[in-house]
């Protein structure tokens, strides 16, 4: 988790860790991103320290810091119906990279 600047007093700046599931941009004063391993389902929702908006990354997916439902990356050999779902399916047989919503890690 990245630290955030939360207040300045007496010429001192203190930093606190973002709550679990949340992160921030470098130098930010708010925790407005989902942390690595989590994604934001509602892309228009403002996170602002509400960690309930950040859901665990689905199995067979990868969620770097700042991931939204549309940007979930998929392990090779997996696909999903659309960029609006977090349900991930295994490709059958030797199919790979053939589905339009497969965003592979490779």
List CB contacts of 36: < 8 A, sequence separation 6 or more. Answer: 23, 63, 64, 65
Average pLDDT over residues 66-78: 95
Could you tell me the pLDDT band of residue 92, with boundaries at 50, 70 and 90? confident
Angle, vertex CA 2, rays to CA 63 and CA 73, nearest 5: 10
Average pLDDT over residues 3-7: 48
Range of weakest confidence among 2-16, 31-45, 53-67: 2-16
List CB contacts of 1: < 8 A, sequence separation 6 or more. Answer: 17, 18, 22, 23, 35
Using CA atoms, how far residue 50 sits from 8, 16, 80, in Å, is 23, 16, 27
Q: What is the per-residue DSSP string for 61-106? A: EE--TT-BGGG-EE-TTEE-S-TT----EEPPTT--S-STT--B--
Tokens standing for residue 60: 């067979």
Could you tell me the pLDDT band of residue 1, with boundaries at 50, 70 and 90? very low
pTM of the model: 0.70
Q: Rounded mean pLDDT of the chain?
A: 79
Pairing mode of beta strands 12-17, 22-23: unpaired
């Amino acid at each position: 988790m990245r630290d955030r600047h939360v207040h300045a007093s007496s010429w001192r700046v203190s930093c606190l860790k973002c709550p679990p599931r949340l992160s921030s941009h470098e130098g930010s004063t708010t925790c407005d991103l989902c942390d690595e391993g989590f994604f934001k389902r509602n892309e228009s929702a403002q996170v602002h320290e509400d960690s309930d908006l950040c859901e665990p990354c689905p199995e067979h997916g990868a969620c770097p810091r700042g991931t939204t439902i549309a940007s979930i990356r998929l392990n090779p050999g997996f696909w999903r119906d659309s960029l609006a779902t977090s349900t991930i399916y295994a490709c059958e047989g030797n199919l790979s990279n053939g589905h339009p919503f497969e965003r592979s890690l490779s």
